[in-house]
Structure 1
Amino acid sequence: MSDDPERLIVFTRYPEPGTTKTRLIPVLGPEGAAELQRRMTLQVAQAAEELRKDRPLTVEIRFEGGSCERMQQWLGAGFTYRPQGEGHIGRRMSRALAQAFAEGCRRAVIVGSDIPGISSALMAEAFDRLRRHDLVFGPAADGGYYLIGGNAACFRRGAPFLDAGIDWGTAGVLEQTLSILPAMGLGHALLSRLTDIDRPGDLAEGMQALSQGPGRCALSVIIPALNEAGEIGGTVSALS
């Protein structure tokens, strides 16, 4: 356990049908895509609650869509809520980290909400790695990263490196990010590789991960949509 202030920042979107997980709407429909977003965010929030039992941790939800009031009605009053704000994802992450350190945090970790394989143990590992490394990344299967964390000292030396010409949304995001760090004198650690759920091809693995967590019944909205899309075999296999 650490006595130093730490912050976990969850990036998510309010699950409004038609505005969330839009790449999955052709397969899941607007309601199914929103339900998937809801389930994945709840899973991350539950993992954050578990982690908070063992660490002096504050949890901040940075959201798009909705409002602070709607987010609190959905996820409860136990978290701090702030909109992500304007700009590309790198700029929004830089802003969230800078604010965490300005408010006295020693270590801060940002995690996305579309990673069914995330766990409290993996989040704890990220914070622990920051005791020995400047930065920590969770590599995603699509070439990006589902998690980034840093400590206050390294951020003062290298901020805002996430604005440094990275092609966000491409398969080279992690590689580009890591290539920038040596010139700044920043070291890093890597966590386990996980799959984020953005496209139809990611769904089978996502269903398997979600089915292993609490709230399995919530998948009932998603499964029929997958089956109608001709993927019944993969869905049943993933949930068996």
Structure 2
Amino acid sequence: MVSRQGAIVIFVKTPGYSPLKTRLAQTIGQAQAEQFHRLSAAAVAAVVQKVAQQKQVTPYWAVAEEAALTDPLWHQFATLFQGAGDLGTRLAHVNRVLSEQHDFVIFLGADAPQLPVTYLTDAVDLLTNVTDQRQFVLGPADDGGFYLFGTPICLSQETWLNVPYSAANTAEKLLAQLEGQGDIQRLPALTDVDTVRELQTIIQEQSDDDKLLPEQRQIREWIRQQNFPGD
């Protein structure tokens, strides 16, 4: 086996530059939706940082707004611009840029702050050790999307564009695009947050308190302290 060096990239939007968490904001208000995004991104970043201290990976923020690349909110990791266009176009762009510098790329959203360190470690391990068969890694989300995707190759733009995003079959369609290109390893499913109801769900998924990072405990306590209306 050959050791490989990869990238882990978290896709984010920047408060004050773009509308974000619009469905959540309809229920709890824009200010609290932005606060959730900040806390959730910080929790995901803490998980990435923990893994980066143990594995040969480089963390990045993929920022939606070019003007916000130097925003203090994203000081922790190197930043790159997602590029223009729809999500498929932006995923393809980031995949291409990072694949020029790294042997594999793991994509993360910023909306599953309960992500266990072990899930991300497992994804890195699967992509780090080269075998005869190419391997992809998918972390499915309960709504039909995915909270994590890892690829050892630069997928074609056509592959990314053939996936319907924010749909009940997003993960299924991505897997269909990968058919015949290699093995696909699945991680356990998690909830990513789009609505107020899912805020309570992610607390339930933070079941092993001893393994939570401080940033994960912080967002859990923030959720518990809010008086959110029903969804």
Q: Is the structural similarity TM-score above 0.5?
A: yes
| CA deviation after TM superposition for structure 1 residue 21, in Å | 0.8
C-alpha RMSD of the superposition: 2.6
Verify: 1:19 aligned to 2:15, yes or no: no
| CA deviation after TM superposition for structure 1 residue 164, in Å | 4.5
Among 97, 111, 125, the alignment partner of 1:114 is 111
| CA deviation after TM superposition for structure 1 residue 208, in Å | 4.6
Aligned twin of 2:46:
46
Aligned twin of 2:32:
32
Alignment of 1:54-133 (within 5 A): 54-65=54-65, 67-70=68-71, 73-76=72-75, 78-103=76-101, 105-130=102-127, 131=129, 132=131, 133=134
Contact 1:17 1:33 in 2 (8 A): no
Aligned twin of 1:186:
182
| CA deviation after TM superposition for structure 1 residue 5, in Å | 1.7
Q: Which amino acid aligns with 1:44?
A: V
Structure 1 stretch displaced more, 217-226 or 167-176: 217-226
- CA separation in 1, counterparts of 2:94 and 2:27? 33
Find the residue that maps to 1:69 and give its secondary structure.
coil
Aligned twin of 1:238:
none
| CA deviation after TM superposition for structure 1 residue 200, in Å | 2.5
| CA deviation after TM superposition for structure 1 residue 166, in Å | 1.9
Indicate the percent of aligned positions where both proteins have the same amino acid. Answer: 22
Aligned twin of 2:138:
137
Verify: 1:176 aligned to 2:173, yes or no: yes
Tell me the TM-score normalised to structure 1 length.
0.80
Greater helix share, structure number: 1
| CA deviation after TM superposition for structure 1 residue 52, in Å | 1.2
- CA separation in 1, counterparts of 2:145 and 2:80? 24
Contact 2:140 2:187 in 1 (8 A): yes
| CA deviation after TM superposition for structure 1 residue 29, in Å | 1.2
Contact 2:91 2:160 in 1 (8 A): no
- Render the CA deviation track for 1:173-199: whole Å, top value 9, x for unaligned: 1111112222x4332111110000012
| CA deviation after TM superposition for structure 1 residue 46, in Å | 0.8
How many residue pairs are counted as aligned between the two chains? 219
Contact 2:60 2:79 in 1 (8 A): yes
- CA separation in 1, counterparts of 2:24 and 2:230? 14
- CA separation in 1, counterparts of 2:195 and 2:107? 22
Q: Tell me: CA distance 1:33–1:18, structure 2 relative to 1, closer, same or farther (3 Å).
A: farther
- CA separation in 2, counterparts of 1:129 and 1:189? 8
Tell me the TM-score normalised to structure 2 length.
0.83
- CA separation in 2, counterparts of 1:222 and 1:67? 30
Structure with higher Rg: it is 1
